[in-house]
Amino acid sequence: MSYAEFYRRSIEQPEAFWAEQARLIDWQYPPERICDDSRPPFTRWFMGGTTNLCHNAVDRHLKERGGQPALIHVSTETGSETVYTFAQLHREVQRTAAMLKALEVAKGDRVLIYMPMIPEAVFAMLACARIGAIHSVVFGGFASVSLASRIEDATPKAVVSADAGSRGGKVVPYKPLLDEAIRLSRHKPSAVLLADRGLAAMDMVAGRDHAWRALAEEHAQAEVPCEWLQATDISYTIYTSGTTGRPKGVQRDVGGYAVSLAASMKHIFQARAGETYFSTSDIGWVVGHSYIVYGPLIAGMATLLYEGLPVRPDAGIWWSLVEKYRVTAMFSAPTAVRVLKKQDPAYLKKHDLSSLRALFLAGEPLDEPTGRWITEALGVPVIDNYWQTESGWPILTIAGGVEPKATKFGSPGIPMYGYKVKILHESTGQELTGPNEKGVVVIEGPTPPGFMQTVWGDDERFVNTYWKSVPGRMVYSTFDWGIRDEGGYYYILGRTDDVINVAGHRLGTREIEESIASHPNVAEVAVVGVADALKGQVAMAFVVARDAAALDDPAARLRLEGEIMKRVDEQLGSVARPARVRFVTLLPKTRSGKLLRRAIQAVCEGRDPGDLTTIEDPTALQQIKDVASQ
């Protein structure tokens, strides 16, 4: 079947299409009704069906592959490496489920997980799914104020955490951050379960805090059956990054999520049971939920859980893991690839990567120079994809498991089955159907399985935030600019709220960044709009040069700045030319690799950059401040 026919069937016959996909998972009772869209924009999938995420990720594989690897944990921070088979994972998850039940966690209760990339974090997620508790994973190392706001919003009965995480060899104690967050929060969890890695001392609060090791010994042989849940029950909530004010919890269901992941592993990631999947993300982000924990395990694959940096102990660490564990599919981010691009290519060439069939990238647009470099370096398809915390799985990519199609540099691909993606005019709501017409990328309802149900505890906010931003249309806004070429491939041009208005001309920062990134001496770039008395805004570019040493010479800096401006002139026109190009050694990013463009803009305009608890290296923002004032 061609992908065009596959896609058309998903849109024109959604009930039959998704009933077919639902057979990819186990049900206790099959669904009685596939889709209920009677109360838009709220869509309910697989009503009457009962299933369980943990059963589909672990239990159902025990008979055929109980002795095969399920979870591979590698920490270059602590020098540890552990492999759990499906049978061993099943034992650990049952034990953890019994521990949570001993702390009086029951179906429908919330459990907040604040942990580093360690096996216990995965055990906790799967244990919650097993007993019907709603988990909310918060990125490990979040500062106390941010963590407190999430505790307050999720109102968890229990928190699962650890003594510390480690990044780049630096220990980050979690317990003091957690204690302060609980102190700040109006909601007080009744229990805290703590894994002790021996990295940092912990002060235990009597009556509230419980040691993982002690409880685990107590429940070593516990048997905890899966709680069969309605497909429409809540599986987890996750807070969107960059949230200001009250956190925005994306709420996901059980059945629709399980089906969407099983289908995406087959149709998009071409998963095969018994193989190994390696996602370099973090369980604090949605990619970690979908494609470190649930997706690969549902597909019967081993999943690689990695704690560490991509360049430590050296820039070949990821490739050594691909070789050692015969990884067939790898999922990472363009930022990580750009970091590796700056390293000695010998690190990549020294490892046997013959097992790898494809590299998937997401999280931000993939620029053409980076895409071309990694494609040539690996010699396998590099498949970009575009999605959001809200969608749970890719919106735009290539479904190579249905029909292999060519990728295009700069484009994440074409709409995935179930997604009615449109490009609309921001002011009129009119659909733009011509090639390369720029508008807002939206999704028409009903949204497919796996998509967010609502904002946790606030249906009104869900409707007002996502479904009412385009005049006269009830459509889900991605808040991203995009175009579609004559072949139906989409290109994401940046956030609608990252638009620069220069003398009446509206420019997407993404377009300018793409142009600048094409210069051979540009490793990374961030472009922001800065207030200007004459033009309203001007574009300011911050560049990390590939050959930074050469820029010690002021004349060389000036020459490179001129070359970059000329390139933008030639590719986009003089209106898009940055007012200045400033050179730095690193750009401010979150620990998940996203550029902090709003913080850069605030610093340039002399404003408070706001909550910087997620910043990877605070010195990066100081560099921006120093060069912006020159």
Residue 90 CA to residue 398 CA, distance in Å, equals 33
**Residues 91, 172: Cα–Cα separation, whole Å:** 29
CATH number for the 503-628 domain, one of 3.30.300.30, 3.10.450.50, 3.30.450.20, 3.40.50.300? 3.30.300.30
pTM reported for the whole predicted model: 0.85
In this predicted structure, the answer to whether residue 535 has a pLDDT above a threshold of 80 is no
pLDDT bracket for residue 243 (50, 70, 90): very low
Asked whether 70 and 61 are in contact (CB, 8 A), the reply is yes
pLDDT digit string, tens, across residues 138-173:
988 677 877 888 999 999 999 999 999 998 999 999
Q: In this structure, which CATH number among 3.40.50.920, 3.40.50.12780, 3.40.1390.30, 3.40.50.2000 belongs to the domain 3-308+385-479?
A: 3.40.50.12780
Flag whether pLDDT at 313 surpasses 50.
yes
Q: For 610-622, what is each residue's pLDDT tens digit?
A: 777 678 888 888 8
In three-state secondary structure terms, 552 is helix
> Side by side, which strands form the sheet with 234-239?
209-211, 191-195, 158-162, 110-114, 134-137, 234-239, 249-253, 454-455
**From CA 480, how far away is CA 439, in angstroms rounded?**
8
Gyration radius of the chain over CA positions: 24
Higher pLDDT, 92 or 571: 92
Give start and end residues of each alpha helix (H) in 280-361: 286-288, 295-298, 317-324, 334-341, 346-349
- pLDDT band with cut points at 50, 70 and 90 for residue 242: very low
pLDDT over threshold 50, residue 19: yes
What is the torsion angle, in degrees rounded to the nearest 10, for the CA atoms of residue 53, residue 57, residue 58 and residue 59? 60
SS3 letters for 491-524? EEEEEHHHEEEECCEEEEHHHHHHHHHCCCCEEE
Tell me the domain boundaries of the chain: 3-308+385-479, 503-628
Please check the confidence at residue 449 and state whether its pLDDT lies above 80.
Answer: yes
- Residue 532: is its pLDDT beyond 90? no
Can you say whether the dihedral through the CA atoms of 323, 325, 329, 330 is positive or negative?
negative
- Among residues 593, 70, 517, which one has the least CA distance to residue 284? 593
DSSP state of 35: E
